[in-house]
Chains A and B, each alone.
Chain A
């Protein structure tokens, strides 16, 4: 639908027809740059500069013992790659981000489809759905920690009442339990945002087309598969980007809920970097870990985002 072409290895982005007429005046170009400037400057100060600083720090031994950082080349990276904790952390991050994103996709889409049906109380339900998204993340961690509490939690209460267990179980103390808890919390927090996006996408579905399909004998499932899902594809792409970014950067919920534990069962990368930097005081190592993270993510992110930018046109 949009001209996604790679001309002589160079990206050919669709721009306004006005620009394509080739008559863009220097004045207008200057206006464009001027408009970008504030955001670019802010970006450079708060994101770019710190990032390059960190890039540099990853080549230094910079711990509490060393008053002045000493250059050690790639030694930090060597140490990190040899440390099984790093791989553990990468693995957990994949499970966490993947599990949370897929879970939210399914439930967020399901909920949007439900709230797209006409029924009484739909409006109220839509308004209430916003709640998990807007309670502060610390609050959501509190709520879920309390639900999973090993002594007074409601999950234990229900299990005990049903006779499924004899003594309260410490869910957050088992690696699987803790991981499930943080993923459930993340999904819970993100459903409303995903739902809003899907609901928006469903607003401009062509009803006539669907009616026509129904006349042709299509059932609900066929309508969903053949009409709604293809229609929602662009939304899906955006939502996946937001979900992955949100999941990768999530620190608050996990920190407040499990602190990365038990042992390191929920130590996703954001937690590991924080621990290395602010609990173990190894700034060089923490930076190296962060750089490794960026290096792993950047190639797929780059291609994916390029797709996204084209889709926007």
Chain B
């Protein structure tokens, strides 16, 4: 896109890539090497930029003493399930907004999207008794349902925005052949919409994956705890301040999802290209 043959252009390009790259990756590097330093080296005022002695002690304690594996599995289940529900709901709603016309369509959509501005903490106060009355407090299904709060509106919007670009001729042709609307949607529209659907799934997933507030409040049983509160309670709580362990644990819980996303990111960019952006 840019012509980098001149010296100034090269310089600007090089400096930018170094600065932004440093900002993006140094913290990751710092997490990784901190997790391999022994406490003596970790807790010193002038830090070493490469560990003198590599120790696996923090990893050992992560795997033997903490429940991190459990938290990770819980987070994957809860985030995966809520992202799936969110995506299914948003797929139909987005298509409905994009391709059908009925009274209240626009206001509902605008309202839904505006509702994304309601403070989550505020909703939590009233969500608590709602979940209790369904017997869903301190359960995974309860948390999964609550997570719909985070991403449903934006997910609906993203898919709506994509579906408006699916040509009506495609649908009309199938209708002329006598196919039902649902059938058209399932067999014709959906199969060509995989990238945006994946994008929406990932977007929803990230919201739940990051959550601290809801999980901290709605889940009290340790066996259902997710990684956010799990990490906080294990490493920086009332009785602990273990940075080495925190860094090792951070790496361990991040690894699976980082790897998965590296594979999925191609879809993500495709989905964004096809959807919200045109």
Q: Do B117 and A248 touch across chains, with their CB atoms under 8 A apart?
A: yes
Task: Provide the A151-169 mask, 1 if CB < 8 A to any CB of B, else 0.
Answer: 1111011001100000010
Decide if B50 is an interface residue (CB 8 Å cutoff).
Answer: no
Known interface pairs A18-B168, A133-B206, A290-B119; A312-B161 also in contact (CB < 8 Å): yes
A-facing residues in B158-184 (Cβ within 8 Å)? 160-161, 164, 168, 171-172, 181-182
Q: Which residues of A are found within 8 Å of B38, using beta-carbon distances?
A: none
Decide if B20 is an interface residue (CB 8 Å cutoff).
Answer: yes
Q: Do B122 and A36 touch across chains, with their CB atoms under 8 A apart?
A: no
Task: Provide the A206-243 mask, 1 if CB < 8 A to any CB of B, else 0.
Answer: 00001000100001100110001000001100100010
Decide if B110 is an interface residue (CB 8 Å cutoff).
Answer: yes
Q: Which residues of B are found within 8 Å of A13, using beta-carbon distances?
A: 105-106
- The interface centre, meaning the residue of B42, B126, B270 with most chain A CB atoms within 10 A of its CB, is B126
Known interface pairs A277-B125, A290-B118; A196-B3 also in contact (CB < 8 Å): no
Decide if A134 is an interface residue (CB 8 Å cutoff).
Answer: yes
Q: Do B149 and A47 touch across chains, with their CB atoms under 8 A apart?
A: yes
Q: Do B45 and A168 touch across chains, with their CB atoms under 8 A apart?
A: yes
Task: Provide the A269-302 mask, 1 if CB < 8 A to any CB of B, else 0.
Answer: 1100110011000010011001101100110011
Which size bracket describes the interface of A in this complex?
A: 35 or more
Which listed residue, A138, A220, A274, A283, touches B228 by the CB 8 Å rule?
A: A138
Decide if B121 is an interface residue (CB 8 Å cutoff).
Answer: yes
Known interface pairs A136-B227, A160-B46, A188-B24; A286-B115 also in contact (CB < 8 Å): no
Decide if A79 is an interface residue (CB 8 Å cutoff).
Answer: no
Q: Do A312 and B145 touch across chains, with their CB atoms under 8 A apart?
A: no
Known interface pairs A28-B181, A269-B119, A294-B118; A156-B45 also in contact (CB < 8 Å): yes
Decide if A100 is an interface residue (CB 8 Å cutoff).
Answer: no
Q: Which residues of B are found within 8 Å of A160, using beta-carbon distances?
A: 45-46
Which listed residue, B44, B130, B213, touches A252 by the CB 8 Å rule?
A: B213
Which listed residue, A138, A219, A293, A312, touches B119 by the CB 8 Å rule?
A: A293
Shortest CB-to-CB span from B249 to chain A, Å, is 8
Q: Do A50 and B123 touch across chains, with their CB atoms under 8 A apart?
A: yes
Shortest CB-to-CB span from B252 to chain A, Å, is 10
Known interface pairs A39-B152, A245-B154; A146-B101 also in contact (CB < 8 Å): no
Q: Do A35 and B95 touch across chains, with their CB atoms under 8 A apart?
A: yes
B33 nearest CB neighbor, chain A only? A154
Task: Provide the B229-240 mask, 1 if CB < 8 A to any CB of A, else 0.
Answer: 101100110000
Q: Do A294 and B99 touch across chains, with their CB atoms under 8 A apart?
A: no
A-facing residues in B132-156 (Cβ within 8 Å)? 145-146, 148-150, 152-154, 156
Known interface pairs A31-B181, A143-B30; A15-B257 also in contact (CB < 8 Å): no
Q: Which residues of A are found within 8 Å of B227, using beta-carbon distances?
A: 136, 138
Main secondary structure of the interface of A (DSSP, over half): helix
A111 to B93, CA, bound (A): 34
Q: Do A151 and B45 touch across chains, with their CB atoms under 8 A apart?
A: yes
Q: Do B127 and A42 touch across chains, with their CB atoms under 8 A apart?
A: no
Q: Do A197 and B277 touch across chains, with their CB atoms under 8 A apart?
A: yes
Shortest CB-to-CB span from B173 to chain A, Å, is 11
Q: Do B110 and A139 touch across chains, with their CB atoms under 8 A apart?
A: no
A-facing residues in B1-27 (Cβ within 8 Å)? 1-4, 9, 13, 16-17, 20-21, 23-25, 27
Known interface pairs A134-B261, A143-B27, A147-B27; A234-B277 also in contact (CB < 8 Å): yes
Decide if A33 is an interface residue (CB 8 Å cutoff).
Answer: yes
B-facing residues in A2-49 (Cβ within 8 Å)? 11, 13, 15-19, 24, 28-29, 31-33, 35-36, 38-40, 42-43, 45-49
A15 to B102, CA, bound (A): 11
A192 nearest CB neighbor, chain B only? B24
A156 to B28, CA, bound (A): 18
Decide if B116 is an interface residue (CB 8 Å cutoff).
Answer: yes
A213 to B232, CA, bound (A): 54
Q: Do B276 and A197 touch across chains, with their CB atoms under 8 A apart?
A: yes
Q: Which residues of A are found within 8 Å of B278, using beta-carbon distances?
A: 204, 234
Known interface pairs A32-B99, A57-B125, A309-B113; A273-B45 also in contact (CB < 8 Å): no
Decide if B36 is an interface residue (CB 8 Å cutoff).
Answer: no
Q: Which residues of A are found within 8 Å of B270, using beta-carbon distances?
A: 200
9 sampled A-B residue pairs with Cβ under 8 A:
A33-B96, A47-B118, A50-B126, A54-B125, A125-B21, A137-B228, A139-B253, A273-B122, A306-B110
Known A36-B96, A143-B27, A157-B46; further 14 A-B contacts with Cβ < 8 A: A28-B100, A32-B105, A136-B250, A136-B254, A137-B212, A138-B232, A146-B243, A188-B27, A214-B3, A245-B154, A273-B121, A274-B213, A298-B114, A305-B110
**What 3 pairs across the A-B complex have the smallest Cβ distances?**
A32-B100, A290-B122, A39-B93
Please list the residues of chain B having a beta carbon within 8 angstroms of any beta carbon in chain A. Answer: 1-4, 9, 13, 16-17, 20-21, 23-25, 27-28, 30-31, 34, 42-47, 75, 85, 88-90, 92-93, 95-102, 105-106, 108-110, 112-127, 130, 145-146, 148-150, 152-154, 156-157, 160-161, 164, 168, 171-172, 181-182, 185, 206, 209-213, 217, 227-229, 231-232, 235-236, 243, 246-247, 250, 253-254, 257-258, 261-262, 265, 268-270, 272-273, 276-278
